[in-house]
Amino acid sequence: MPFTLEQRAEWRRRNRARRVEIDGRLVAAYLPEERHGGAWADHGCQCEPCSAANKAHSAASAKRRRARWYARRALVNGVLVSPDVRQHGTTRAYKHFGCRCASCGEAERVGKIETGRVRRAEIRARRVMRDAHWFSPDTPRHGTWTSYSYYGCRCVPCREHHNTHQRQRKTS
């Protein structure tokens, strides 16, 4: 194992150069099997277990970073406001810095609606006509409220579900 930081960096570089491409991923095939899942940092291995470990690690450090920003917030008029936000009224300020001031909260609310609207339009655009009714290929489960209203599916189970629902609402 190398000692200085420079030596370590050099060692890592050399390890990376030794990787071979397997199914479009650069894999440190020179390592024994039991090393995989932890060889992404030192060896740049992109095999499935190593990539998964890498992903989990970056997710965890992003979470830690966010927790640090969140901890710096202060209560102002009953809401948590971040002193690190340079521009309020953005979804980034809301999510990344956790700023809950009125303008950041509004930005997040509008952003959510906007994303929902775009996604809904995309989903609906992908529907196909089947037996003279719209059918959504994206629906995870037919015959559900989500499928009918969100995905806009009008297949037999979805319409049936919707109809029974309507009837129930009227009678109750």
Q: Which residues bind Zn ion (CB under 5 A)?
A: 36, 39, 45, 47, 50, 88, 93, 99, 101, 104, 142, 147, 153, 155, 158
Where are any strands of DSSP class E within 45-127? Answer: 74-76, 79-81
Nearest approach, Cβ of residue 2 and Zn ion (Å): 20
Phi, psi (deg, nearest 5) at residue 130: -140, 120
Enumerate residues 6+ apart whose C-beta is below 8 A from 106.
89
Nearest approach, Cβ of residue 74 and Zn ion (Å): 12
Nearest approach, Cβ of residue 117 and Zn ion (Å): 21
**Is 6 or 144 the residue whose CB approaches Zn ion more closely?**
144
**Is 9 or 41 the residue whose CB approaches Zn ion more closely?**
41
Find how far residue 85's CA is from the centre of its chain. 23
**Is 5 or 32 the residue whose CB approaches Zn ion more closely?**
32
Q: Are 162 and 150 in contact (CB under 8 A)?
A: no
**Is 5 or 128 the residue whose CB approaches Zn ion more closely?**
128
d(CA 79, CA 102): 9
